[in-house]
Structure 1
Amino acid sequence: MDASVVIVGAGPAGLMLAGELRLAGIDVVVVERHPRCTGESRGIGFTTRTMEVFDQRGLLRRLGDYQTGNTGHFGGLPLDIGVLGAAHEAARTVPQSVTEEALEARATELGARIRRGHEFLALQDFGDHVAVTVRGPGGERRIEARYLVGCDGGRSGVRKAAGFDFPGTEATTEMLLADLRGVDLEPRMTGRQVGDGFVMVARLAGGIHRVIVGERGAPPRRRTGPPAFAEVADLWKRLTGDDISHAEPVWVSAFGDATRQVTEYRRGRVLLAGDSAHVHLPAGGQGMNTGVQDSYNLGWKLALVLHGYAPEALLDTYHSERHEVGRRMLANTRAQSLLVLGGAEAQPLRDVLSELIRYPEVARHLAAKVSGLDIRYDVGGGANPLLGVRLPHLPLTVGNRATSSTELLRPGRGVLLDFADNAVLRRRAQGWRDRVDIVTATPGVPPEPTLTGVTAVLVRPDGYVAWTAPGSHRNVDSSLARWFGPASGRRR
């Protein structure tokens, strides 16, 4: 094998996965058709859940200065994310180019091989390995690996070559986007209905303004490249009456409201993550954030399988968990599309939702949906509300040292937190010490309310709770075996 895993695509999903695999000691090569980072801003922020993910891996410091806030929207209707009381606010001013630079630097430092200027051409799945054909500066070459992961975007060549089904709906409306210098516009992060269209203005770092404009009933054009800035300026003036033609365009792009999702995230030795698996109307940056979290879910599972700790069946949980997350994301972005792109006929719906969103329960429900904090995985059943959800940031004392659950997750291993100094529990978990850290800890004061009565917690490497005591139907050793494979001495 040339590598254990070959990843096609060096966007946020691909680079996040490369870093996660290298953190676990897996040999990985990333192939990317662009010879260098594009420098395009694209996605400009992170949801609360992605901020937690980056914090758990120590990545926030790599992003430089950025602004955070609790303001969001659902279909253009203002939404206060702060009602969730999360430890992190969403980041609003991080261009995707900065994200990619940070993730690439981390993956490279950990030993990932990133091959830019190499275009994916074809693949063969032999059942026990895959062969990938790419074209690079020296011509065509073949790369053999145990697994292939397609992170190559909405027009994924890997998805097409592997024969994944990609059902959904075609785009009905085209939106134009431009990042501009030399213009001063009133920020409208939640968008605004204007005549027969929709406009949005966001203020980015470095004095750059992002404008998005769309006209109802204007279907996507067949384009071979980005639209001219004059097209953006003309539509902006037609809808708003304002002239922005004097501005300097930094980046111009177009997108639509197509909604599609693959029926399976894994076919044999080929897996998909990010936009390769799901496309939709960009709404609050959910696509990029979901892609990063796809990779966060997949990385540790693929590493355990490749190390021989866990059976291949563990990879099936990647599909069952992340396909459902993607399905729910597509449902909420389609609902937002109706609110944003609908005409006068959608106004009664906007009016009703504007009333409902004032109720705290409704606001919390929608805020959790767009921030990624509503995710709950099926981890085997039990009564404790922590099961299957992310573990909140917990201040902890281990011995005489102050630490936190976030810091304990930095190495990318499972963590068994023993809050009751239970020697029997620790003894039962000894067979998994090579992949799970067993930590006797004391929660901070006052303790997190969700920990009331909890004496132990098993946390997966992605920060989700797999077992609690009391409250789980399984014993700790059966939960450890389910998520980390058989105990040492009994593994295949």
Structure 2
Amino acid sequence: MDASVIVVGAGPAGLVLAGELRLAGADVIVLDRLRERTGQSRGIGFTIRTAEILDQRGLLSRFGEIQTGPAGHFGGLPVDLTVLGAPHEAARTVPQSQTEAVLEGWARELGADILRDHEVTGLTEDERGVSVTVRGAERALRARYVVGCDGGRSTVRRLAGFDFPGTPATTELLLADIRGIDLEPKMTADPSAGGLVMVAPLPGGTTRIIAAERGAPPVRRTGPPDFSEVADVYKRLTDTDISTAEPVWVSAFTDTARQAARYRRGRILLAGDAAHVHLPAGGQGMNTSVQDSVNLGWKLGAVVRGTAPDTLLDTYHDERHPVGRKLLSDTRAQSLLILGGEEVAPVREVLGELLEHSQVARHFAARVSGLDIRYDVGGGTNPLLGARLPELSLLRQGQRITSTALLRSGRGILLDLSDNATLRHRADPWTDRVDVVTARVLRTDGEGPHAGTSAALVRPDGHVAWAAPGSLHDLPTALGRWFGPAR
């Protein structure tokens, strides 16, 4: 074997997966067909949950000063994110080029082997592994598993024969990052307007423009549109001439919505845009891709390391496929709200009224921020089960620490909040994979989903797999399910 895992694609999903695999002790090769990173801005922000995940791995500080905000939107309707009380806000102006640079540096530091100018042309799976043919290489590369993180036009998905059902494009949106012109930030998605206009500032004096005329059919393209086409559409919609601006990057995208029927076929798996494509409404695509890889990485690492059975990989599809399905539903709904005509005006009006109610506002805030994701981890009534562990301020051996910092190693954590020796004894056969941490919560208001919780088993992705009060007899079962047989 050349590596335990070969990851195809060095975008955010592939780079995060490479880093997670290295944290889990698996050797990994990343193959990318491009000679170098594109440097294109593409996705330009993080949801609250992605910001939390980056912080869990100590990566958020590597981005330096970033602009964050307390507001989101659903189909152009404002959503107040402060109702969630999360320690992070959504990041709005982080270009994907910076994200990829940070993630690649991290993956290389951990020992990932990233090979550029390596285009995959063939896959052959057998009972021991997968052979990967690379254009121009003298021989195929071998790995026990292959993960396709190679985008919406995924070669891995095509070669491995994954079904990719969904709906074709019905309209096209034009995008341009420009310099040399001052424009006020805005988003116009009112049904009475001629279409969608979005203006957002980016670092370095760059401004992003997205423009789409309502009802504009998709165009079959072999390359990006000319900037003059974007400027013409923008002028028709706003009566403002931007044709003298300097285009930095120009692209077009559609409302195609497709999802792989399965995320795993034997030794080949999909993550990120290779598994799901959709209208990039609300910037959720890259964030979902990163979260796919964080869910998969520790599981695949445990399998190739031999501490967990191969069946653990099935939970990747079971947990992330519903998230992707909801993502497609959300983005299709937002497409109708943003690009629909007068017929959607009543829907926007009703939804706007509903968002004034606190429970509805909180529901949508959690939805667009990624904080509503909950996995089926087994029985129990604790509200933390299956959800991500909210950041807790802890006192451990006289020192303050956060629950987020405890996850930096990428290992599981058994958080003992009541100094329970019996609890710790039951976890002893798994301490080669799970850190047992005795601490107390530095919080006096007694509020939040953690209130009354005396212990929690936290997976490496930050989701709670077991919590007390509850039967201690269930703890070994949970440890075995998520971390493999006892030592």
TM-score by length of 1: 0.97
Determine which of 359, 362, 380 is the counterpart of 2:360: 362
Q: State the secondary structure of the residue aligned to 2:282.
A: coil
Determine which of 167, 176, 179 is the counterpart of 2:177: 179
Task: Please state if 1:81 is matched with 2:91.
Answer: no
User: 1:296-311, aligned counterparts within 5 Å?
Assistant: 296-311=294-309
2:385 aligned partner? 387
Check conservation: 1:381, 1:473, Cα contact below 8 A. no
Question: C-alpha distance in 1, partners of 2:159/2:12?
Answer: 22
Determine which of 226, 241, 244 is the counterpart of 2:242: 244
Q: State the secondary structure of the residue aligned to 1:437.
A: strand
Task: Please state if 1:312 is matched with 2:310.
Answer: yes
Q: State the secondary structure of the residue aligned to 2:217.
A: coil
Check conservation: 1:416, 1:437, Cα contact below 8 A. yes
Aligned residues: 486
Question: C-alpha distance in 1, partners of 2:221/2:186?
Answer: 28
Question: C-alpha distance in 1, partners of 2:299/2:345?
Answer: 45
Check conservation: 2:192, 2:342, Cα contact below 8 A. no
1:289 aligned partner? 287
| Structure 2: 5+ residue stretches without partners | none
Question: C-alpha distance in 1, partners of 2:192/2:101?
Answer: 37
The amino acid that maps onto 1:463 is G
The amino acid that maps onto 1:480 is L
Task: Please state if 1:440 is matched with 2:408.
Answer: no
User: 1:323-402, aligned counterparts within 5 Å?
Assistant: 323-402=321-400
| Structure 1: 5+ residue stretches without partners | none
Instruction: Give CA-to-partner distance per residue, 1:295-350, whole Å, 9 cap, x none.
Output: 00000000111111111110000000000111111111111011011011111111
Question: C-alpha distance in 2, partners of 1:190/1:2?
Answer: 51
1:109 aligned partner? 109
Percent of residue pairs bearing the same amino acid type: 66
Instruction: Give CA-to-partner distance per residue, 1:99-143, whole Å, 9 cap, x none.
Output: 00000000001110000111111101112200111125xx45411
1:30 aligned partner? 30
Question: C-alpha distance in 2, partners of 1:468/1:355?
Answer: 37
Check conservation: 1:382, 1:473, Cα contact below 8 A. no
Check conservation: 2:174, 2:210, Cα contact below 8 A. yes
Kindly tell me: are residues 194 and 133 of structure 1, through their superposed partners in 2, closer, same or farther at Cα, counting changes over 3 Å?
A: farther
Question: C-alpha distance in 2, partners of 1:140/1:200?
Answer: 48
Question: C-alpha distance in 2, partners of 1:7/1:56?
Answer: 22
Q: State the secondary structure of the residue aligned to 1:271.
A: strand
Instruction: Give CA-to-partner distance per residue, 1:230-274, whole Å, 9 cap, x none.
Output: 110011111211100000001000000000101110000000000
Question: C-alpha distance in 2, partners of 1:397/1:190?
Answer: 48
Task: Please state if 1:461 is matched with 2:460.
Answer: yes
Task: Please state if 1:69 is matched with 2:100.
Answer: no
Question: C-alpha distance in 2, partners of 1:453/1:226?
Answer: 55
Tell me which stretches of 4 or more aligned residues in structure 1 moved more than 2 Å.
189-196, 447-453, 471-474
Question: C-alpha distance in 1, partners of 2:320/2:269?
Answer: 12
Q: State the secondary structure of the residue aligned to 2:281.
A: coil
1:196 positional shift: 2.8
2:146 aligned partner? 148
Q: State the secondary structure of the residue aligned to 2:390.
A: coil
Check conservation: 2:192, 2:341, Cα contact below 8 A. no
1:448 positional shift: 5.4
Question: C-alpha distance in 1, partners of 2:248/2:470?
Answer: 54
Question: C-alpha distance in 2, partners of 1:226/1:400?
Answer: 58
Question: C-alpha distance in 1, partners of 2:422/2:72?
Answer: 47
Question: C-alpha distance in 2, partners of 1:32/1:63?
Answer: 24
Question: C-alpha distance in 2, partners of 1:39/1:189?
Answer: 25
TM-score by length of 2: 0.98
The amino acid that maps onto 1:475 is D
1:87 positional shift: 1.0
Question: C-alpha distance in 1, partners of 2:276/2:232?
Answer: 32
Question: C-alpha distance in 1, partners of 2:470/2:383?
Answer: 9
Determine which of 415, 418, 421 is the counterpart of 2:416: 418
Question: C-alpha distance in 1, partners of 2:350/2:160?
Answer: 44
Task: Please state if 1:403 is matched with 2:401.
Answer: yes
The amino acid that maps onto 1:482 is R
